[in-house]
Amino acid sequence: MSGTPSDIKLIDENGIRIDGRKVDEMRPLKIEAGVLKRADGSAYLEWGKNKVIAAVYGPRECHPRHMQNPAKAIVQCKYNMMSFSVSDRKRPGPDRRSIEISKIISEALENVVFTENFPRTSIDVYIEVLQANAGTRVAGLTAASVALADAGIPMKDLVPAVAVGKADGQIVLDLNKEEDNYGSADLPIAMIPRTGEVVLMQMDGHMTMEEVDIALGYATKACREIYEVQKDALRRRYAVQAGAVDEDDSSDEEA
């Protein structure tokens, strides 16, 4: 995040952002559950220009063994950005940023999964960012919780997440890449709409208390919308399973 160059205007005089949205409007969001056959659970998400896939394996025996917790499962998330997902080629492999994002997503998910049901195991969550345009950590978390539900892992609830920020001095919902780069604040948040519980909150930049109030209001409304898209993805997934025999599955088993 850096200061706005004077020639870049992120919000016009009518309150419209450079991608045509109003300040409290989210980018279009689509989620599909159960997209990978080999994973126990999976989800594919498109959110504006972000494209993210999440795959879940487990609960399975935790390796290395010294990481096992005799009282509960551990949730291990690996967030990764493909080399081609950003405008400058990203060097493959983990870096400080992806290690941080993996950690905060693991912690957010540990808050909702009934980990005590599966002692000594690991629940592995892989998040692959195929195309990035700001907000990939919240997109990854949103997809991962659908993939966990698709894997049939008992959990308190789904976890919708969104980033709120500040551009041209105004609070804006769901930052795009330009707003993330040239705006002055970024506040990713994950909230369970049913209980209001916040399982992830970060802050980059500065906001006044009044601005935080506005931002939380936008995020609360957006998380409710995202939650409906998540539930709809799972409903569609199980409507398909109930209604049709998967021909690819049977040919796989014969092979």
Q: Which of 32, 157, 180, 197 binds ligand CDP (CB under 6 A)?
A: 180
In angstroms, the CA 176 to CA 161 distance is 15
| 159 near ligand CDP, judged by CB under 6 A | no
Closest CB to ligand CDP among 121 and 145? 145
Question: How far apart are CB 86 and ligand CDP at their closest, in Å?
Answer: 3
How many angstroms from the chain centroid is the CA of residue 133? Answer: 13
In angstroms, the CA 184 to CA 170 distance is 9
Q: Per CB under 6 A, which region of 7-15, 127-135, 217-225, 232-240 contacts ligand CDP?
A: 127-135
Question: How far apart are CB 48 and ligand CDP at their closest, in Å?
Answer: 10
- The secondary structure of 147-185 as a DSSP string is HHHHTT--BS----EEEEEEETTEEEES--HHHHHHSSE
Q: Which of 45, 54, 73, 134 binds ligand CDP (CB under 6 A)?
A: 134
Question: How far apart are CB 18 and ligand CDP at their closest, in Å?
Answer: 15
Number of residues that bind ligand CDP (CB under 6 A): 14
In angstroms, the CA 62 to CA 236 distance is 32
Pairing of strands 41-47, 121-131: unpaired
Q: Per CB under 6 A, which region of 4-12, 110-118, 128-136, 149-157 contacts ligand CDP?
A: 128-136
Query: Which are the contacts of 254, defined by CB distance < 8 A and separation ≥ 6?
Result: none
| 177 near ligand CDP, judged by CB under 6 A | yes
Q: Which of 42, 111, 136, 145 binds ligand CDP (CB under 6 A)?
A: 136
Q: Which of residues 71-90 bind ligand CDP (CB under 6 A)?
A: 86-87, 90
Cα–Cα distances (Å) from 197 to 69, 86, 111, 202, in that order, read 25, 32, 10, 15
Find where tokens 């330009």 sit. Answer: 178
Q: Which of 80, 115, 122, 133 binds ligand CDP (CB under 6 A)?
A: 133
59 upstream amide cis, omega within 30 of 0: yes
| 178 near ligand CDP, judged by CB under 6 A | no
Residues that bind ligand CDP (CB under 6 A): 86-87, 90, 97, 132-137, 163, 177, 180, 186
